[in-house]
Amino acid sequence: MEWIPCSGRSRRDTKNKKNSSSRKKNGVIVNQKPLDQTKPTSERLRDDYPFHVRGGSKNGGSGSITAQTFTFRELATATKHFRSECLLGEGGFGRVYKGYMESTNQVVAIKQLNRNGLQGNREFLVEVLMLSLLHHPNLVNLIGYCADGDQRLLVYEYMPLGSLEDHLLEISPGKKRLDWNTRMKIAAGAAKGLEHLHDKASPPVIYRDLKCSNILLGEGYHPKLSDFGLAKLGPVGDNTHVSTRVMGTYGYCAPEYAMTGQLTLKSDVYSFGVVLLEIITGRKAIDNSKATAEQNLVAWSAQSVTAQSGRLIRGFIDNVIPSRGCSVTDCAARPLFKDRNKFSDMADPMLQGQYPSRGLYQALAVAAMCVHEQPNMRPVIADVVTALTYLASQKYDPNAETGQRSRYPSASPPRTRRGGKNQ
């Protein structure tokens, strides 16, 4: 799905026809401040963004910018002068190419930013800063960048399996379907990456553009969050939110953010809930090819669930997700179980029935809490990590499920102790 503002207007409709030194913001053309080439990148970033990682980082978390700098000529050579045969894909801020760096004997992914796009110099520098300081197994690794003249390029580690979208929503002929165990592994890993942004960065980082196309997959379907062009530093002190222009991808934006422009960490949790629903159902967040009642994934899912929770989900929430100041009934409210017989209809047909019944119900419960209309009713991402780490640890064995699918399981999982390592 192409990047668009949450209001639904296409990015193609908002292309700036001015030169690359200006862009449109909130309907007004504003000049972009050119990069101060007299200052090192790390110094410019520290001047503008008082940002660090709590507890430091094993890979350059001290506050220094460790990413390499490349010349435009080096990156042009690496991509065979940006030939179409090297094109991996095109996102909201530019094109991504596969490249080979002879100097390091390394295959990389190179994102060439659209000079007339909506990501300006400041956003470019923020992305360099965040990916230079935020190191985690579930965040894509930034190798370096190029800021020659008006060229803006980012060099990432190459993720050989592409994006989650390629394996879930845009499956090419002959591509292997994702089984249940792999889906839960990917969901848990993506949640851990988001948890690092929320809980380790100071101020916390709000990702703001969580979607399947931004979850890249490495060997063994190891997930990593990528594309931080829309990332925003979160609220600090007594502030509950940051006010900003509404941007993101239609279908993933939290409703309160789309309506008010008030961005919180719970906005990311909502987006994660939409992604989790996509992982479970194999449906797109917005699919205009379907009947009107089924075009919006969250609305369609709500037709099969309601505010009343079943015994299994009460036990799951009580035992796996710690209480955060709200009752189980409140936290599990809308949407939750309405017709248990319909839950199997929500599972991706590509799974061909190969999934654990209890695991499906529990995963739907987590997704339901994440997409709650009220932000304060959504769980914090750390609790989502706890729940999904548990689900990912419960490996599905189709032989063990034989003859059990018609039974609604009542057993609750063992209580999980918080404080353990999630990475």
Q: Could you give the CA distance from residue 192 to residue 190 in angstroms, rounded to a whole number? A: 5
**Residue 168 confidence (pLDDT):** 93
pLDDT tens profile 249-306 = 889 999 998 898 889 999 999 999 999 999 999 999 999 999 998 899 999 887 665 4
**Residue 53 confidence (pLDDT):** 60
From the list 168, 241, 191, 184, the residue with the least C-alpha distance to 370 is 191
pLDDT tens profile 77-90 = 999 999 999 999 88
Interior CA angle at 68 toward 67 and 74, to 5°? 145
Helix residue spans in 174-264 (DSSP H):
180-199, 255-260
Is residue 4 a contact partner of residue 250, using CB atoms and an 8 Å limit? Answer: yes
Residues in the chain: 423
Higher pLDDT residue, 332 or 322? 322
**Residue 139 confidence (pLDDT):** 96
Q: Which residue has the tokens 């978390």?
A: 61
Q: Is 287 flagged in the annotation as binding?
A: no
Q: Could you give the CA distance from residue 299 to residue 267 in angstroms, rounded to a whole number? A: 17
Half-sphere exposure of 23 (CA within 13 A, CB side): 18
pLDDT band at 64 (very low <50, low <70, confident <90, very high): low
**Within 10 Å of residue 292's Cβ, how many Cβ atoms?**
8
List % helix, strand, coil for the chain (3-state, nearest 5): 35, 15, 45
Q: Calculate helix-pair angle for 265-281, 381-393, nearest 10 degrees.
A: 20
- The arithmetic mean of pLDDT across residues 49-54, rounded, is 57
- The arithmetic mean of pLDDT across residues 354-361, rounded, is 92
- What region does 188 belong to: left with phi over 0, alpha with psi -120 to 50, or beta? alpha
What pTM did the predictor assign? 0.78
**Residue 128 confidence (pLDDT):** 86
- The arithmetic mean of pLDDT across residues 379-386, rounded, is 95
Structural domains of the chain, ranges and CATH numbers in brackets: 11-157 (3.30.200.20), 164-401 (1.10.510.10)
Is residue 369 a contact partner of residue 379, using CB atoms and an 8 Å limit? Answer: yes
% of residues, the chain, pLDDT over 70: 66
From the list 120, 129, 130, 126, the residue with the least C-alpha distance to 34 is 120
Q: Is 227 flagged in the annotation as binding?
A: yes
| 10 pLDDT more than 90 | no
**Residue 63 confidence (pLDDT):** 52
| 311 pLDDT more than 50 | no
Higher pLDDT residue, 172 or 54? 172
Strands 142-146 and 68-69: parallel
pLDDT tens profile 149-162 = 889 999 999 999 99
**Residue 86 confidence (pLDDT):** 95
**Residue 72 confidence (pLDDT):** 96
**Residue 344 confidence (pLDDT):** 82
**Residue 419 confidence (pLDDT):** 45
Higher pLDDT residue, 272 or 42? 272
Is residue 264 a contact partner of residue 241, using CB atoms and an 8 Å limit? Answer: yes
Q: Which residue has the tokens 């189980």?
A: 328
Q: Is 80 flagged in the annotation as binding?
A: no
Q: Is 332 helix (H, G, I), strand (E, B) or coil?
A: coil
DSSP state letter for 170:
S
Q: Could you give the CA distance from residue 380 to residue 401 in angstroms, rounded to a whole number? A: 32
**Residue 177 confidence (pLDDT):** 87
Q: Could you give the CA distance from residue 189 to residue 185 in angstroms, rounded to a whole number? A: 6
| 327 pLDDT more than 70 | no
**Residue 341 confidence (pLDDT):** 63
| 320 pLDDT more than 50 | yes
List, by residue number, the catalytic residues: 209
- Secondary element (H or E) of residue 206: strand 205-206
pLDDT tens profile 224-256 = 999 887 888 877 766 667 767 777 788 999 999
pLDDT tens profile 100-140 = 999 889 999 999 988 766 556 767 887 888 888 889 999 99
Q: Is 197 helix (H, G, I), strand (E, B) or coil?
A: helix
pLDDT band at 360 (very low <50, low <70, confident <90, very high): very high
DSSP state letter for 264:
-
| 213 pLDDT more than 80 | yes
Higher pLDDT residue, 328 or 129? 129
Tell me the two tokens of residue 57: 């980082």
Mean pLDDT, rounded, of the chain: 76
Q: Which residue has the tokens 């890249």?
A: 216
DSSP state letter for 112:
E
Q: At residue 167, what is the residue type? A: H
E strand map for 22-179: 22-25, 28-31, 52-53, 68-69, 87-91, 94-101, 106-113, 142-146, 153-157
